């Protein structure tokens, strides 16, 4: 957990996310935390392997966290750590880990000082934000003080995007990193149906790369489905060899078409 400055050694460090909240499943709120975390983990050489969105229901949170924390190196959660009755993430995580959910003393002090300064009482609702599983460490929240927490390989963060993002930035330096996944995007003017087989053959010949093909819909284009071919690999040489093959494929197919 405290792998700060650990040299990148492992080939792959994996992660999962649990986004918690009825509002994400009703369509009321369009989630932006998943995409943010995905991009940040990729930058930091951690592979996000699965995301689950679950409602504000303890059993659903516990099931998701327990399934994922056993399978991946890290689990990140968003949402459900505020001061209202539907904020049940802290006790749910405690239950998932078989730990008591306590009022963390240091968190109480932080909250107490914060609200005192604002001449607001530390109501039981506000005090609720000091709850965490016994033994958890804080994830600092400079936006609104109430901390997230991490315990074992589970990192519990707020749902409000500005706070979530700050917490992610506070957590990233503590995480062990894998070997950076390199990637290269090659724009392709041909449709997927034209190069599908040739690209599959390139993927087979370059097993240490992962090649994806991403069409977009652009009805005003001559080719309404322009594509980006994205190659990913952990070694620069593998990346470059596959890129050369893809570029050659595109040239050859373009010549055939004329």
Instruction: Tell me if 172 contacts a second copy by CB under 8 A.
Output: no
- CB closer to a second copy, 38 vs 99: 38
Q: Report the alpha-carbon distance of residue 126 to residue 113 in Å, rounded.
A: 12
- Closest by Cα among 154, 164, 157, 176 to 75: 154
- CB closer to a second copy, 57 vs 137: 57
According to CB under 8 A, which residues from 3 to 22 bind a second copy? 22
According to CB under 8 A, which residues from 228 to 247 bind a second copy? 230, 232
Give min distance, CB of 170 to a second copy, in A.
17
Instruction: Tell me if 23 contacts a second copy by CB under 8 A.
Output: yes
* Strand positions, DSSP E, 92-180: 101-103, 131-133, 137-139, 148-151, 154-157
Instruction: Tell me if 173 contacts a second copy by CB under 8 A.
Output: no
123-128 long-range contacts (CB < 8 A, ≥24 apart) are 123/83, 125/83, 125/84, 126/83, 127/103, 128/83, 128/87
Total interface residues for a second copy by CB under 8 A: 73
According to CB under 8 A, which residues from 133 to 162 bind a second copy? 143-144, 160-162
- Which residue in the set 6, 125, 221, 244 belongs to the binding site for a second copy (CB under 8 A)? 125
Instruction: Tell me if 32 contacts a second copy by CB under 8 A.
Output: yes
- Which residue in the set 109, 120, 134, 248 belongs to the binding site for a second copy (CB under 8 A)? 120
- Which residue in the set 44, 55, 152, 253 belongs to the binding site for a second copy (CB under 8 A)? 55
- Closest by Cα among 35, 30, 18 to 89: 18
> Which of these segments, 99-107, 134-142, 191-199, 239-247, binds a second copy (CB under 8 A)?
191-199
Instruction: Tell me if 183 contacts a second copy by CB under 8 A.
Output: yes
* Strand positions, DSSP E, the chain: 14-20, 47-54, 74-78, 101-103, 131-133, 137-139, 148-151, 154-157, 182-188, 209-215, 227-233
Instruction: Tell me if 184 contacts a second copy by CB under 8 A.
Output: no
Helix 58-71 with 89-97: angle, nearest 10 deg: 50
> Are 53 and 112 in contact, with CB atoms under 8 Å apart?
no
> Are 226 and 218 in contact, with CB atoms under 8 Å apart?
yes
- Which residue in the set 38, 99, 101, 253 belongs to the binding site for a second copy (CB under 8 A)? 38
- Which residue in the set 45, 48, 151, 168 belongs to the binding site for a second copy (CB under 8 A)? 48
Instruction: Tell me if 222 contacts a second copy by CB under 8 A.
Output: no
């Amino acid at each position: 957990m405290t792998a700060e400055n650990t040299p990148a050694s492992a080939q792959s460090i994996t992660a999962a996310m649990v986004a918690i909240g009825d509002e994400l499943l009703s369509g009321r709120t369009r989630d932006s935390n998943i995409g943010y975390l995905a991009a940040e983990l990729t930058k930091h050489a951690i592979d996000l392997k699965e995301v689950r969105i679950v409602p504000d229901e303890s059993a659903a949170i516990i099931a998701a966290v327990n399934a994922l924390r056993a399978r991946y190196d890290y689990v990140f959660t968003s949402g459900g750590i505020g001061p209202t009755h539907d904020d049940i993430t802290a006790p749910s995580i405690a239950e998932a880990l078989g730990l008591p959910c306590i009022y963390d003393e240091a968190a109480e002090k932080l909250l107490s000082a914060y609200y005192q300064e604002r001449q607001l009482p530390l109501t039981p609702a506000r005090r609720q934000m000091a709850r965490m599983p016994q033994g958890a460490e804080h994830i600092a929240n400079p936006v609104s003080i109430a901390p997230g927490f991490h315990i074992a390989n589970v990192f519990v963060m707020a749902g409000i995007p500005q706070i979530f993002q700050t917490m992610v930035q506070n957590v990233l330096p503590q995480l062990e990193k894998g070997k950076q996944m390199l990637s290269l995007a090659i724009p392709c003017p041909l449709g997927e149906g034209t190069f599908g087989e040739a690209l599959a053959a390139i993927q087979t010949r370059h097993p240490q790369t992962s090649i994806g093909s991403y069409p977009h819909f652009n009805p005003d284009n001559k080719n309404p489905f322009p594509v980006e071919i994205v190659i990913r690999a952990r070694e620069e040489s593998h990346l470059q060899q596959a890129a050369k093959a893809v570029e050659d494929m595109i040239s050859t197919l373009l010549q055939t078409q004329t």
